[in-house]
Amino acid sequence: MTADKERTVLSVTQLNEYIKARIDADRFLGSLWIRGEVSNFVHHKTGHLYFTLKDENSLVRALMFASSASKLKFSPENGMKVLAHGRIAAYIRDGQYNLYVDAMEPDGIGALYVAYEQLKRKLEGEGLFREDRKKPLPKIPTRVGVITSPTGAAVRDIINIISRRFPYAKILIYPSLVQGDGAPEQLIAGLRYFNAALAADVIILGRGGGSIEDLWAFNNEALAREVASSRIPVISAVGHETDFTICDFAADRRAPTPSAAAELAVPETEELKRKIHNIIGRMDTLVSSSIRIRRKSVETLRDSRVLCDPLRILDEKKTRLVMDTQQLEGVMRLAIKEKKARFEKNASKLEALNPLSVLLRGYSAVFREEGGLVKSVRDVEVGDLVVFRTSDGRLGARITEKEEYPG
């Protein structure tokens, strides 16, 4: 080695500029895929992503600008295996080369799947899928809102099944895209439309089967939130039985298919008619037991000492009362029996039967002078004035004797 002039001496900058130029000139380094594991991941507030990609032996610094990062269908995390596409470029100031990533996908499993899992975990963590948030479906919805494509097989299935099961229900179809750009926004608009005026009793939101990409609109976060916050119960029916979307979890009910959603939404008319008709039997039981209770109190009155030993002047009335009471019972028993038989035959004919008229045929009640029904000998004392009330007037009487039966 001799003089300096025989040496080529570069400044650091010159060196790094030279290296940068060599790298930039290399077509291979201008576009390549790198497989690696994400570490030191930083999501900067500017939207840029800073991280390193590493394998067992080596690492490379990587960065992804916000413009590219915003197109990612999943959120990178430390430890995640990824395939990153980009170019290598040198950074002169630091004397480093970096991988400038413009696209990235999870390695091994699909990006969509990762995004789905991440969103599901996030919303689950917020409690959006909790059972106690879910609203019960109405028993008899008369307006069914359907948000789906107006031309698909799904809408056809839903219409067929609702028309067959429960033609009384009005079906309101809110047409919407069900896949691709703009689909989530339209589906959300449908939910908002029905909720704004409570224009439906239940909403079916869905579409027929398709690929995971086709169904993707139903894994949209904003849509899932809209479904969860709907005041009207929502049945989610997306794709086939094996397809689970985020919307399915957020909805009040998940139906395996659009047809199944229609079955869940409305009752079957004949079954509903049977249930409505059963109300007559229920009312009959209630009224009959009410009559039984009142008859019991009539009997108590009849058997009471006061009535068994009345003033002479009331003898005739008393005899009539006892006879009438017995007659009333007989007639009433017959009437109830007959009524029940006729109910079973034909409900409409029941209107003619009115046990009231039988009951009103006449019995008396005893009141204390100052008012109040005499239900027990304890209610009156010897010497008290009492009033007998019949259907056509009243009678005054004085208690001359009283005896309380034991037990």
Partner 1 sequence: MAQENEKEMNFENAIARLEQIVRSLESGSAPLDDSLALFEEGVRLVKLCTEKLDSAESRIRLLTQTPEGMTETEFPQKNGNGN
Check the CA dihedral 352-356-358-360 and report its sign: negative
Burial 292-324 (b: 16+ CB within 10 A, else e): eeebeebeebbebebbeebeeebeebbebbeeb
Q: Contacting partner 1 (CB under 8 A), which of 80, 217, 235, 291?
A: 291
CB 223 within 8 A of CB 108: no
Beta carbon nearer to partner 1, 159 or 177: 159
Q: Contacting partner 1 (CB under 8 A), which of 13, 319, 354, 376?
A: 354
Q: Is 273 in the site for partner 1 (CB under 8 A)?
A: yes
- Quote the least distance from Cβ 325 to partner 1, whole Å: 15
- Quote the least distance from Cβ 175 to partner 1, whole Å: 7
Size of the residue set binding partner 1 (CB under 8 A): 42
Beta carbon nearer to partner 1, 76 or 145: 145
Beta carbon nearer to partner 1, 39 or 269: 269
Q: Is 294 in the site for partner 1 (CB under 8 A)?
A: yes
Q: Is 347 in the site for partner 1 (CB under 8 A)?
A: yes
Q: Is 312 in the site for partner 1 (CB under 8 A)?
A: no
Q: Contacting partner 1 (CB under 8 A), which of 174, 216, 218, 244?
A: 174
Q: Contacting partner 1 (CB under 8 A), which of 21, 109, 198, 287?
A: 287
Q: Considering only residues 103 through 162, tell me which ones interact with partner 1, judged by CB under 8 A.
A: 140, 142, 150, 156, 159-160, 162
In the DSSP assignment, the letter for residue 84 is E
- Quote the least distance from Cβ 212 to partner 1, whole Å: 26
CA 330/CA 391 separation, integer angstroms: 19
Q: Contacting partner 1 (CB under 8 A), which of 83, 350, 387, 395?
A: 350
Select the span of 92-100, 289-297, 329-337, 384-392 touching partner 1 (CB under 8 A): 289-297
CB 120 within 8 A of CB 114: no
Q: Is 198 in the site for partner 1 (CB under 8 A)?
A: no
Burial 236-245 (b: 16+ CB within 10 A, else e): bbbbeeebbb
Check the CA dihedral 35-40-42-48 and report its sign: negative
CB 280 within 8 A of CB 347: yes
Q: Contacting partner 1 (CB under 8 A), which of 15, 21, 286, 385?
A: 286
Select the span of 31-39, 56-64, 92-100, 163-171 touching partner 1 (CB under 8 A): 163-171
CA 62/CA 66 separation, integer angstroms: 13
Q: Which of 175, 193, 160, 185 is nearest to 261 (CA)?
A: 160
Q: Is 395 in the site for partner 1 (CB under 8 A)?
A: no
Q: Contacting partner 1 (CB under 8 A), which of 290, 300, 376, 391?
A: 290
Residue 327 token pair: 């007659």
Q: Is 163 in the site for partner 1 (CB under 8 A)?
A: yes
CA 116/CA 319 separation, integer angstroms: 86
Burial 107-117 (b: 16+ CB within 10 A, else e): eeeebbebbbe
172 membership: H or E segment, kind and range: strand 170-175
CB 387 within 8 A of CB 393: no
Beta carbon nearer to partner 1, 9 or 293: 293
Which residues, 6 or more positions from 88, have their beta carbon under 8 angstroms from its beta carbon? 23, 26, 29, 30, 32, 97, 98, 99, 100
SS3 label, residue 209: coil
Binding residues vs partner 1 (CB under 8 A): 140, 142, 150, 156, 159-160, 162-163, 167-175, 193, 269, 272-273, 276-277, 279-280, 282-284, 286-287, 290-291, 294, 347-348, 350-351, 354-356, 359-360
